[in-house]
Structure 1
Amino acid sequence: MFVRAYLRASTKEQDAGRAKNDLIDFAKERGLHIAAFYTENESGASLQRPELFRLLSDAHEGDILLIEQVDRLSRLNSDDWQKLKSELQSRRVRVVALDLPTSWIMATTADDITSRMLDALNSMLLDMLAAIARKDYDDRRRRQAQGIAKLKESGGYRGRKPDVQRNAAIMQMLRRGDSWNHIIAATGCSRSTLSRLGQQVKQEAA
């Protein structure tokens, strides 16, 4: 059994590794060693998370996926959450979240019947917390949209100004054939920005 810690933040401006020490302390208290950390800055509302799926690809049956909070794993809609949950179940990976005390027992060994009972209980609680995390995400998006709409009505909304110099550098890197991962690491841009600029580069070449 290996413990694999997953750390996520939504944007480059946020520190995805903020909870690393909390995860290390949690593992130490239980005599466990974290075999690997998987860290990324991607939205929890999307399944497009390379590091999460690299973790699942590396995992073996019975391994622990350790997270700070359930919303670090999922702010997914219902369909996408079921896809991720099925992936976790098919690989027999145990999810342990610091904000879900009932999951902590999953970090210990237990007989088969007890393990199955705990799996069932934890699955229900994960479903509930994943749904709450998604609702929180939708609520914040709705409030943000309402705020922008009010500003537009009053003429106070100008939108986000593009970073012209950075975007020009990104487009040059795309023309040169640099990989997305390299560009993101070098510039801190989001994948959505990279995709939009990539389309512009393709249109230029057409």
Structure 2
Amino acid sequence: MTFVRTYLRASTNEQDATRARQALKDFADQHGLKIAAEYVENASGASLQRPKLFELIEQAHEGDVILTEQVDRLSRLTAADWDKLKAMLTAKRIRVVALDLPTSYMMAKADDFTGRMFDALNSMMLDMLAAISRKDYEDRRRRASEGVAKVMANPSEKAAKYRGKPENTKRNDLVAEMLRASKSWTDIQEATGVSRMTVAKVAKRLKEGTE
């Protein structure tokens, strides 16, 4: 029996790693698949230090499916690290099904013969998307570094650059009141439209007694 194991990842603790849970569930329902286990973690896709991903691989049986939203949830790795991860997946014949990789859909319920036919094509597509994800990661880091270097090189612009927008005290007071009322962070975000990072900032102030 093939088990479907969903893998959900976000890069930082401030991001919601479970954001794509419903999309994966909907996909599984549409294709008559049953999700056997879910693995969630907040960790950089550019690093192999991901305990939940390795727990998934360890617990997976031969022929199981990893269902994920996008290939970059699985990898923003260097070529060498991607090869290591792919070798581990290949060793257990774990199939990767990503919502942004159409060819992988055909493997979700493929029999052994059909699955092997798609293996080569899907492997090539995974390599390509993993490389694109890594390039995007490196490009964004380069642009951020260039932006900081430009600001640091121009002291007259430095203060304005890092002063940021004035704090919305009225909105943050409402967030604080909702936190005091033991409302969930998700409810607060939906009610006020603030980011999870803002809720965390106000929660920290409350804990420190400065709000």
Question: The TM-score by the shorter chain falls in which range?
Answer: 0.7 to 0.9
Q: Show the counterpart of 2:186.
A: none
Q: Show the counterpart of 2:184.
A: none
Larger Rg: 2
In structure 2, what is the Cα distance between the partners aligned to 1:81 and 1:139?
18
1:128-169 deviations in Å (ceiling 9; x for gaps): 00000000000000000000101111231798xxxxxxxxxx
TM-score, normalisation: structure 2: 0.73
Deviation at 1:33, TM superposition (A): 1.1
Q: Show the counterpart of 1:127.
A: 127
Distance 1:141 1:35, change over 3 A: same
1:114-136 deviations in Å (ceiling 9; x for gaps): 22120111000000000000000
Q: Show the counterpart of 1:27.
A: 28
1:50-83 deviations in Å (ceiling 9; x for gaps): 0000000110001000000000000000000000
2:43 maps to 1:42: yes
In structure 2, what is the Cα distance between the partners aligned to 1:116 and 1:26?
22
Structure 1 gaps, min length 5: 160-187, 189-206
In structure 2, what is the Cα distance between the partners aligned to 1:111 and 1:49?
29
2:141 maps to 1:137: no
What pairs with 1:36-185 in structure 2 (closer than 5 Å)?
36-112=37-113, 114-155=114-155, 156=158
What is the DSSP-based 3-state SS (H/G/I as helix, E as strand, rest coil) of the residue aligned with 1:95?
Answer: strand
Deviation at 1:111, TM superposition (A): 4.2
Q: Show the counterpart of 2:16.
A: 15
In structure 1, what is the Cα distance between the partners aligned to 2:21 and 2:9?
10
Structure 2 gaps, min length 5: 163-199, 201-211
In structure 1, what is the Cα distance between the partners aligned to 2:115 and 2:89?
15
In structure 2, what is the Cα distance between the partners aligned to 1:87 and 1:26?
25
In structure 2, what is the Cα distance between the partners aligned to 1:111 and 1:51?
27
Deviation at 1:22, TM superposition (A): 0.2
Bigger mean CA offset, 79-88 vs 29-38: 29-38
In structure 2, what is the Cα distance between the partners aligned to 1:20 and 1:106?
20
In structure 1, what is the Cα distance between the partners aligned to 2:112 and 2:52?
31
RMSD over aligned Cα, in angstroms?
1.5
What is the DSSP-based 3-state SS (H/G/I as helix, E as strand, rest coil) of the residue aligned with 1:13?
Answer: coil
What is the DSSP-based 3-state SS (H/G/I as helix, E as strand, rest coil) of the residue aligned with 2:66?
Answer: strand
In structure 1, what is the Cα distance between the partners aligned to 2:15 and 2:110?
35
Distance 1:4 1:111, change over 3 A: closer
Instruction: Give, as a single letter, the amino acid of the residue that structure 2 aligns with 1:129.
Output: L
TM-score, normalisation: structure 1: 0.74
